[in-house]
């Protein structure tokens, strides 16, 4: 952690608010969902915040997640459970993506995925609020981040994974101290088990959007983009969407930055990217619905977006529509082709969920939704090194005469 957190800071959180009804909840207390079963959003005194610091002062700080500390909920910096959350780079992919296309490579974060952003904030707040045991359903990367941060501060964790969760993720979760279970069901069915235990007082439920602070960590993606683009946001963002916390968080970040006067009213078109084998947001978007029905028999190579039902569905759809964006579905074949193209042509090994964003950009261009040369950001949510790769490498016997021309 950088030394710019050596002292406690002014905290600008005023209250929490139900994302659907606007009902207020007291800050500094442990909360799950609102009384109507919807996510709670953290609200800040932005006028006081803006009077205390300006964007140039933040830009001058060390480039990590915590440079945004005034816009984050942790009160006592001693409760921050950091593993070194850097500002992630924007990588051009001119050959596979084209002019103006940048990949925000979240695989550089601790535990190798963007789940570190949300979980460092949620675990730090859990520590601050006295939580001692946490349970979570996961398709892999979120469980790994939870296990790492919770183990670092001594919080006990129980993680439930669908049985088709990538093996490397299951082992990673266990290696970092969680008790991990493989469940014969999807992530929302794992979540039902977690919810039952939470209702019985066995643990605190860390399911996506069922506590308020993962959004606050994920919104730093939007804060970083604003700074990296010189306070003038890109034209379009393609985001791999399962639970959608990051998309919701970025939309919240842009709103807060405009209210501070640090950016204007321009917004990127937000594209929620899903797989054809699990596309509840796409179906709801196309049908003009506010809520998405559960997707039955979900299946895709992109495990991170295999989420049949999302509690924040209305927030995802609201952001997509307000931005003039779309919800798009791509096939597994298109996903794998995009991963292969980016690795071979631009040297960036993306995860399948990241590949889905490039596949969706290609589809959007074909449909005339994105023009060549527009400034586009694709989110690669995890390092591709976590995912299975095809067998490779032919044998070469050094004890025999080698035909070097064949090599």
Decide which of 3.40.640.10, 3.30.565.10, 3.40.50.2300, 3.40.50.1100 is the CATH code for 91-96+101-111+213-385: 3.40.50.1100
From the CB of residue 52, how many other CB atoms can be counted at a distance below 10 Å?
13
CB 387 within 8 A of CB 336: no
User: β-pairing, 179-183 with 204-205?
Assistant: unpaired
Topology of the domain covering 115-205: Rossmann fold (3.40.50)
- For residue 229, give the 3-state DSSP assignment: coil
Dig out the tokens for 349 from the structure.
């090994």
From the CB of residue 166, how many other CB atoms can be counted at a distance below 10 Å?
20
Instruction: Kindly give the confidence (pLDDT) of every residue in the chain, 407 residues in length, as a single tens digit, with 9 standing for 90 and above.
Output: 344 454 445 689 999 999 999 999 999 999 999 999 999 999 999 999 999 999 999 999 999 999 999 999 999 999 999 999 999 999 999 999 999 999 999 999 999 999 999 999 999 999 999 999 999 999 999 999 999 999 999 999 999 999 999 899 999 999 999 999 999 999 999 999 999 999 999 999 999 999 999 999 999 999 999 999 999 999 999 999 999 999 999 999 999 999 999 999 999 999 999 999 999 999 999 999 999 999 999 999 999 999 999 999 999 999 999 999 999 999 999 999 999 999 999 999 999 999 999 999 999 999 999 998 899 999 999 999 999 888 899 999 999 999 999 89
Tokens 């490397």 map to which residue?
Answer: 168
Q: Could you give the angle at the alpha carbon of 255 between the alpha carbons of 188 and 141, nearest 5°?
A: 30
CB 74 within 8 A of CB 80: yes
Dig out the tokens for 331 from the structure.
């096939």
Side-by-side strand order, sheet with 204-205: 179-183, 156-162, 133-137, 204-205
Residues of the chain with CATH 3.40.50.1100: 91-96+101-111+213-385, 115-205
Rounded distance between C-alpha atoms, residue 109 and residue 305, angstroms = 19
Q: Which long-range contacts (CB under 8 A, 24 or more apart) does 35-38 make?
A: 37/311, 38/311
């Amino acid at each position: 952690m950088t030394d710019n957190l050596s002292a406690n800071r002014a905290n600008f959180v005023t209250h929490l608010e139900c994302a659907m009804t606007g009902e207020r909840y007291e800050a500094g207390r442990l909360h799950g969902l609102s009384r109507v079963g919807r996510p709670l959003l953290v609200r800040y005194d932005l006028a006081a915040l803006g009077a205390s610091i300006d964007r140039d002062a933040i830009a001058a700080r060390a480039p990590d997640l915590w440079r945004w500390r005034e816009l984050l909920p942790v009160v006592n910096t001693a409760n921050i459970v950091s593993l070194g959350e850097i500002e992630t780079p924007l990588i051009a992919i001119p050959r596979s993506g084209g002019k103006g296309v940048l990949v925000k490579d979240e695989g550089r974060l601790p535990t190798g995925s963007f789940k570190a952003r949300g979980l460092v904030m949620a675990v730090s707040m859990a520590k601050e609020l006295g939580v001692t045991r946490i349970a979570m359903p996961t398709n892999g990367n979120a469980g790994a981040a939870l296990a790492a941060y919770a183990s670092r501060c001594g919080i006990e964790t129980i993680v439930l994974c669908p049985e088709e969760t990538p093996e490397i993720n299951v082992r990673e979760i266990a290696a970092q101290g969680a008790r991990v279970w493989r469940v014969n069901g999807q992530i929302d069915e794992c979540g039902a088990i977690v919810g039952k235990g939470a209702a019985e007082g066995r643990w605190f439920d860390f399911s996506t959007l069922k506590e308020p602070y993962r959004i606050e960590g994920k919104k730093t993606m939007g804060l970083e983009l604003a700074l990296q683009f010189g306070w003038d946001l890109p034209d379009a963002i393609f985001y791999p969407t399962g639970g959608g916390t990051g998309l919701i968080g970025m939309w919240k970040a842009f709103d807060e930055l405009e209210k501070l006067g640090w950016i204007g009213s321009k917004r990127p078109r937000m594209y929620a990217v899903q797989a054809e084998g699990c596309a509840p947001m796409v179906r709801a978007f196309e049908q003009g619905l506010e809520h998405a029905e559960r997707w039955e028999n979900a299946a895709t190579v992109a495990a991170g977006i295999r989420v049949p039902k999302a509690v924040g569905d209305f927030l995802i759809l609201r952001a997509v529509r307000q931005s003039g964006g779309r919800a798009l579905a791509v096939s597994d074949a298109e996903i794998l082709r995009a991963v292969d193209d980016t690795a071979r042509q631009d040297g960036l090994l993306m995860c399948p969920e990241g590949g889905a964003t490039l596949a969706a950009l290609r589809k959007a261009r074909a449909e005339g939704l994105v023009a060549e040369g527009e400034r586009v950001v694709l989110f690669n949510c995890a390092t591709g090194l976590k995912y299975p790769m095809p067998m490779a490498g032919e044998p070469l016997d050094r004890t025999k005469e080698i035909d070097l021309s064949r090599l």
